[in-house]
Chain A
Amino acid sequence: MNPGAKKILLAGLAFAVVYGLLNSLSNIFLLPSAPIISMRPQIALPMVVGILVHPLAGFITGFAGNMFGDAVYGFGALKFWNWHIANGLMGWIPGLVGYGGIRRIGTVREFGILQMSLVGASAAGVAAAVVLDVFFIHLLTFPYSFPSWILPAFLTDAVNAFILVPVILLLARRIRLTLETRTILMITGLLLVSILATAGAITWAVLDDLVSHSAMVENFYIAAVVSVLLLVAGFIAAIVFVRKVTDPLADLAQAAQAVEQGNYDLPGLAGVSARADELGRLARIFEQMAGKVREREKTLQRQVDELKIIIDRKKQAQDVSEIVETEYFLALKEKARKFRET
């Protein structure tokens, strides 16, 4: 599927309107201590558009949507133009991954690439906004803006995208439910619940205690950063773990396919059969089985080689002449010859 330019533009703009309205709405719920950054679950929208429609459609949704949202909310359409670009990049980058060949996510590797592209897109978007500000806009001040603006922008986008985009792709059936994806989704889900519960508890404590609010802000960001680091580290660990289980299964499937095609040399299985665990045992049994099949095939081949079609030529000639020398046969032959000629 390769949508035309018109379709990309229309889809991008249509979702931009939705995205803009959601942006202006969510500005009501600002993050603690961040003056302008809000909790933004809608960041998933340009990303999903970028993945499902086209990277450029994702860019348009992010860019135009942010502009529209700022205008509606009253910031002015052009004031934070660097953040329009940031949002555009966030819609564009995950789409590149989807557009680059992962049509449907079915393996841990593909899922890992997707999730990392979401975090990467958030980081790249925020970084671009910061760099543009430093050179052209000069609104940010360092180091003050870092905890109050830059970090919350990245955190909210990265975490929201990390949770919501896979959910939406799952609903859109762009994630195939394989053993690999089921396992990684489950582990990721558990990871998110435990980390977000911790982060949420800390946040609640901060919000509740208005007196020590400002004092706690610093702790809050440390907790948030640690949470995200934990999330990423846990996610990578989960990917490694799941692949340790599922890669041998892929090797086994490949070996089974080779046997099905009559190829009994299975060097690809050596790694799995060297394992001491259950999968290693399965691989070893499989190798033995392939060996047996090979032997049986050889036996059959030998049987055919040994098969002798014994024809007594003398008796054959005698039987043939007994038939072909009869008058009946000669007459028949003559008649057959005649109607073949006509």
Chain B
Amino acid sequence: MKHDILDLAQCFFYTAADFGKEDAMPEIIAIHSFRGGTGKTNTTANLACLLARKGRRVGVVDTDIQSPGIHVLFNLDPKDAPHTLNDFLWGKCDIGRAVYDVSRILGAEDKEKLFLIPSSIRTGDIARVLHYGYDINLLKEGYQKAIEQFALDYLFIDTHPGLNEETLMSIAVADTLLILLRPDQQDYQGTAVTVEVSRQLEVPRMFLIVNKVPTAFPGDALAAKVTAAYNCDVAGVLPHADEMMALGSSGLFCLMHPNTALGRAMEDILRRITA
């Protein structure tokens, strides 16, 4: 009860703060790839960060329940996050309590811009969700509530690779789906299946992002090839960056190296998907 009042007050505060702003519909953006290791989590974190830097209120949900990881990039210690997405899915807590302000990674002046809903890293919690599953309506309600309560402009969903039931749910709730692939024969077939399945799920907007492209590879030509092969728009071609590898998830690339080919390519993607 006490928390409900707090939540209501918070909700009221954010609505008041937003009063007079242009009222764009909040958007759920899911980021997916058929295979692991395509750079999904890193791309999600960086795009979310760049948007938050532009003054938008951005949330990120880690729905990769089997192998959560994005909290590392946002520098959120699981010890400081007693409530997670798992707790919400079991009805143990309100979604609002699993939302953590991680804006401090953006810099000292930025406050209440970037929020994270982490997944539990406890093996018991992981096994339990995987065993019992959850309902898409509950998930959608949770997202909706989080968006309203924190006045989010964008909610990014970081997913588990592949096409299991949880992943399909994330695709189904998304307004925009970004599918990552590498210029690698291993990725092509699965991506084709993912694109087709997502079409069948009637995702309103879908883009491909080609990641880890060798530097100096002509991006436009590659994008044209990919567009033709999948009959799907390419939001951007992200060059491989040694700096990103060197970071080893110990920080956010877009904050540390904004003026690199990769940083600029990410900005281009944002322009395209938020247009």
A: which residues have CB within 8 A of B?
Answer: 296-297, 300-301, 303-305, 307, 309-313, 315-317, 319-320, 323-324, 328-329, 332-333, 335-337, 339-340
B185 lies within 8 A of A310 (CB): yes
Min CB–CB distance B194 → chain A (angstroms): 9
B169 lies within 8 A of A332 (CB): yes
B218 lies within 8 A of A309 (CB): no
A336 lies within 8 A of B173 (CB): yes
Secondary structure of the B contact surface, majority rule: helix
Taken residue by residue from 107 to 138, chain B's Cβ proximity to chain A (1 for < 8 Å, 0 otherwise) reads as: 00000000000000000000000000000110
- B165 on the interface (CB 8 Å rule)? yes
B273: chain A residues within 8 A (beta carbon): none
Determine which of B188, B196, B221 lies in contact with A305 in the assembled complex, contact meaning CB atoms within 8 Å: B221
Apart from A309-B229, A315-B189, A323-B197, list 8 A-B contacts with CB within 8 A. A300-B216, A309-B225, A317-B196, A320-B196, A323-B168, A329-B168, A329-B200, A336-B173
- B205 on the interface (CB 8 Å rule)? no
B: which residues have CB within 8 A of A?
Answer: 136-137, 140, 163, 165, 168-169, 172-173, 183, 185, 188-189, 192-193, 196-197, 200-202, 204, 214, 216-218, 221-222, 225-226, 229-230
Determine which of B196, B197, B201 lies in contact with A336 in the assembled complex, contact meaning CB atoms within 8 Å: B201
B189: chain A residues within 8 A (beta carbon): 311-312, 315-316
Ordered by A's residue number, 19 sampled pairs between the chains whose C-beta atoms are within 8 Å are: A296-B216, A304-B222, A307-B225, A309-B225, A310-B185, A311-B189, A311-B229, A320-B193, A323-B168, A324-B200, A328-B165, A329-B200, A333-B172, A333-B201, A335-B137, A336-B172, A336-B201, A337-B202, A339-B173
B216: chain A residues within 8 A (beta carbon): 296-297, 300
- Docked CA distance A333–B214 (Å): 38
A328: chain B residues within 8 A (beta carbon): 165, 168
Secondary structure of the A contact surface, majority rule: helix
- Docked CA distance A319–B189 (Å): 10
CB-based nearest A residue for B200: A324
List the 4 shortest-distance A-B pairs measured between CB atoms, nearest first. A336-B172, A309-B229, A319-B193, A311-B192
A339 lies within 8 A of B168 (CB): no
- Docked CA distance A309–B188 (Å): 6
Min CB–CB distance A252 → chain B (angstroms): 23
Min CB–CB distance B260 → chain A (angstroms): 15
A296: chain B residues within 8 A (beta carbon): 216
Interface centre among A301, A304, A319, A339 (most CB of B within 10 A): A304
B214: chain A residues within 8 A (beta carbon): 300
A300 lies within 8 A of B188 (CB): no
- Docked CA distance A100–B138 (Å): 72
- Docked CA distance A265–B71 (Å): 49
Min CB–CB distance A291 → chain B (angstroms): 16
CB-based nearest B residue for A318: B193
B193 lies within 8 A of A309 (CB): no
B221 lies within 8 A of A340 (CB): no
Min CB–CB distance B176 → chain A (angstroms): 13
CB-based nearest A residue for B224: A304
Min CB–CB distance B265 → chain A (angstroms): 16
B137 lies within 8 A of A339 (CB): yes
A300: chain B residues within 8 A (beta carbon): 214, 216-218
B200 lies within 8 A of A339 (CB): no
